[in-house]
Amino acid sequence: MSEISVLSESEKPKVLPYDPLNPEFLANPYGNYARLREEAAVHRTDAGLAVMTYGLVNKVLRDNRFGHGDGLGAQDAKIPTPEGPRDSLMLMDPPDHTRLRALVNRAFTHRVVQRLRPAVERIAVELLTTAVEKHGDGPVDLSAEFCRPLGVRSVNHLVGVPEEYTERCVNFGRDGGRGLDPGFTLTPEEEQQRVNVRHGAVEITLEMIADRRANPREDIVSDLIRVEEAGDRLTENEVLTTVANLFLAGWAAPQATLGLSVVALLNHPDQQAYYLAHPEHADRSMDELVRYDSTVQLAERLALEDAEVGGFEVKAGEEVYLMFGSANRDPEVYENPDKLDLTRVGQRNMGFGHGIHYCVAAPVAKMVSEVGLNVLLGRFRPELLTPTPPTNGAITQRSYSEIPVTLHPVG
């Protein structure tokens, strides 16, 4: 295996095959993806390879010559701890990733997530009731008053976060949208905001760990502490970074997925009608909504040794950008890929990644989105005040920063 040498952020070139911060691109990146796919399946850029097609993205994800190099390539995503920055679960390679992921998956089994549904429905009804009482017939920002607090509060309920943390966590969910973007795309102010969110997550995690040591419960935090105290599988820092990573992923994915799904259905009345008429196909509908407009648009991988992707040589230490958003619209895999079709069956999408680094919060994000849509559309016929709401400005985890609507009661 070739020795891995990774450029520092200051040394990395800053060129991508498109302008990811252009407002027109952020509003609808998929037209740019289509143009790039038509030109080539892989683009060599000064920042690394950009892989555009489903087949090649899938190939890289399954190739153990690509990984995270134990966090060497993605310094932007490390978790701050009292002992310095540490890798989160998303930056680990096997065997450490395998060991930790097996423990974390206990918190997100199908049975555990489905037990959360009544609480999510209760929170959703409460949020919409409050919004209507506050605004009457006036405009409502569904992002701020429904999607974001529903996603954050649902995850907090699952993990056992005390209610008094809610406002802080919702604010972290709002401010953490660009938390996984490459550092060279951030302004100093945005970089500081990212740091603040991570420190906030760590602060809450440390307080929860201290509480669970004194008052153990049947929850994921207590489970991880018990394993750590047994002394054979987890270190104290691994408990900290794993729980903090759960928060950061959980605060981001559900709110983003729900917001993107709401806008997609409101812009496609025929599909909204199908969704309401066929609750028995909710899982399939959510899969298509995630494919059509996914929150996870790209992921970085590091070449752990010399390799080849789509005819391009890749040197050990070179970064590869896997364009999930593009892969989900690949016409070689999906018929009429730019069409939202809730009856679509077939190839699994990459809306939450794929393989061993499949988004840990995906089961919660899909369930929260389904329940949120059911409660919202079961009570109201929302009307978008703009078909293209403003986004959070992120190129890695896409979401809407505002979703202005008027709420028309059903019946």
In 3-state terms, what secondary structure has residue 42? strand
In 3-state terms, what secondary structure has residue 235? coil
Predicted confidence at residue 4, as pLDDT, reads 41
CATH code assigned at 295:
1.10.630.10
Q: What number is the average pLDDT over the span 172-201?
A: 84
Query: DSSP label at 144?
Result: I
Q: Cα separation of 363 and 369, whole Å? A: 10
Tell whether 37 is covered by a domain. Answer: yes
Asked if 194 contacts 176 with a C-beta cutoff of 8 angstroms, the reply is yes
Buried b (16+ CB within 10 A) or exposed e, 371-393: bbbbbbbebbbbebeeeebebbb
In order of 4, 19, 293, 390, the CA distances from 263 in angstroms are 43, 24, 10, 11
Predicted confidence at residue 10, as pLDDT, reads 43
Please say if the pLDDT value at position 43 is more than 70. Answer: yes
Predicted confidence at residue 249, as pLDDT, reads 80
pLDDT band at 107 (very low <50, low <70, confident <90, very high): low
Q: What number is the average pLDDT over the span 165-177?
A: 86
Asked if 328 contacts 294 with a C-beta cutoff of 8 angstroms, the reply is yes
Tell whether 6 is covered by a domain. Answer: no
Predicted confidence at residue 57, as pLDDT, reads 96
Tell whether 4 is covered by a domain. Answer: no
Tell whether 2 is covered by a domain. Answer: no
Asked if 76 contacts 298 with a C-beta cutoff of 8 angstroms, the reply is no
Predicted confidence at residue 229, as pLDDT, reads 66
Q: Cα separation of 333 and 27, whole Å? A: 24
Q: What number is the average pLDDT over the span 91-111?
A: 70
Query: Radius of gyration (Cα) for the chain, nearest Å?
Result: 21
Please say if the pLDDT value at position 53 is more than 80. Answer: yes
| Residue 249 token pair | 């992923």
What's the mean pLDDT when you consider all of the chain? 85
Asked if 173 contacts 365 with a C-beta cutoff of 8 angstroms, the reply is no
Q: For residue 78, give its domain range.
A: 23-409
Please say if the pLDDT value at position 240 is more than 50. Answer: yes
Q: DSSP letters along 60-110, please?
A: HHT-TTEE-GGGTS-GGGPEEETTEEE--GGG--TTHHHHHHHHHGGGG-H
Q: Is 195 left (phi over 0), alpha (psi -120 to 50) or beta?
A: alpha
pLDDT band at 246 (very low <50, low <70, confident <90, very high): confident
**Number of domains present in the structure of the chain:** 1
pTM of the model: 0.88
Tell whether 193 is covered by a domain. Answer: yes
In order of 3, 227, 249, 288, the CA distances from 257 in angstroms are 39, 32, 12, 12
